[in-house]
Structure 1
Amino acid sequence: MKKKNSKKIQTESNNINKELGQTKNSAKLVLFIFGIGPIIGITIFLYSKGFFNSPNI
């Protein structure tokens, strides 16, 4: 009986670890989107306004 109980505890801990892994991956994805997204948006905005064009003297 002790072996069955230990197996049940191990499977529950494995499920918790999988959920934590998914949480970490989704957190990384959200941080990537909100970190890189504004940089790309600002770059596109500045490019559309001609910020990166060389000035004519």
Structure 2
Amino acid sequence: METTQLQICIGCGSCKENCPQGIIIKGTPFKIQEEHCLDCGTCYEKCVHDAIEHNY
């Protein structure tokens, strides 16, 4: 399950642009709709600010 680290997210949108499920809501911080997340890790891999934790 991916979660956004609120204090690190700057709202750049790279996670939202790359999410294959389209489940990330725009904002600062961006919000991952965890109930729809498939745990693919794409948002985690694409976040250049390391603001997303990938919890295996």
| Structure holding more strand per residue | 2
Q: TM-score, normalized by length of structure 1?
A: 0.19
Q: TM-score, normalized by length of structure 2?
A: 0.19
| Structure holding more helix per residue | 1
Q: Which has the higher contact order (CA 8 A, sep 6+)?
A: 2
Larger radius of gyration between Structure 1 and Structure 2:
1
